[in-house]
Amino acid sequence: MKRTLWVAAFLFVNVGSGFGGDAAVDEDQAFDDAVRQFGYAGGAAWQCSAEVQRSTIERQALQAYNGLTRLFGSDQAFFFATSFGAGTIDALKQDDCTKHIETFTREMNKAQKAK
């Protein structure tokens, strides 16, 4: 249960609050976009990492996927997984690798603190 809290904490940071019909749609879209960005950052970090570091990123991505599935359902977990996959195969500039690794690490650390 504690692991699921870190996923929720990370994802809700990027989602505003509102009660209108359009606001709810905007919140849903913002949430989905945050999930996709997190997944892509993970995949890009995996691609940019040395072979020995990849298993750690894979383990963290699996934890995030499982947390998303438990908390929000299969749609958000699917968005995360497909975005992670895209990050692993997209052509990345070597200069951007540091940014991707830092982004994924920072967001995972935030999530871990929310336990």
Could you report the per-residue pLDDT of 37-48, keeping only the tens digit for each?
999 999 999 999
How far apart are the C-alpha atoms of 28 and 1, rounded to whole Å?
23
pTM of the complete model: 0.77
pLDDT greater than 80 at residue 23: no
pLDDT > 60? residue 13 = no
Give me the mean pLDDT over the 39-65 stretch: 95
pLDDT at 16: 47
When pLDDT is cut at 50, 70 and 90, the band that residue 112 belongs to is confident
Per-residue pLDDT at 65: 92
Angle at 35 between CA 9 and CA 105, to 5 degrees: 65
74 burial type by CB count under 10 A (0-12 exposed, 13-18 middle, 19+ buried): exposed
**For the chain, what percent of residues have pLDDT higher than 70?**
79
Q: Is the predicted pLDDT of residue 89 greater than 70, yes or no?
A: yes
Stronger pLDDT, 51 or 107, i.e. the higher one: 51
Nearest residue to 79 via CA among 30, 40, 36: 36
Distance CA 24, CA 45 (A): 31
**Assigned token pair, 38:** 């997190």
CA distance 115 to 101: 22
